[in-house]
Structure 1
Amino acid sequence: MSPVHKNACRRSTKTFPLFTVEWDALKRLAVAVGDTLVTGLLCERGPDEHRAAAIEFLGREVAQVRAGRDAL
């Protein structure tokens, strides 16, 4: 992503109107893989892909929790 494009794209609820649960998932995803990757996703993809990424990450988190619970 070019420096100009990066500066023009800010990760905010005003720019990308997602649900709170989706934003929370994207924040945790940013911790896991880095802000640059998540910002790139938001700047270069459409709203449907934003939601799909958040939902996929949520699904992985649920699977990890279930796997941990089943291991007990």
Structure 2
Amino acid sequence: ALFQCKQLFASDRSGDLVVSANVGYDLRDFWEIPEHKGSHGSLHKDHMHVPILMSKPLLQNPIRTTEVYRIIRQHLDN
């Protein structure tokens, strides 16, 4: 999560504070629609480690989900 925080705070769109809910919770109130059972894109390992299956070998392992688009483009260009 330290790498994600470093990237996050380097963005011009970032504020001075990051809030991340515990796994299984989000930061919405009970009356907000639609009801959610969790969130995505947080700093938790379960949200950052996802399986990626490809028919071509990956040059690096593991990869970050933010790199998926670039890797797909590389494979399509070859």
Give me the TM-score of the superposition, normalised by structure 2: 0.34
Which entry has the higher C-alpha Rg, 1 or 2?
2
Greater length-normalized contact order (CA 8 Å, ≥ 6 residues apart): 1
Give me the TM-score of the superposition, normalised by structure 1: 0.35
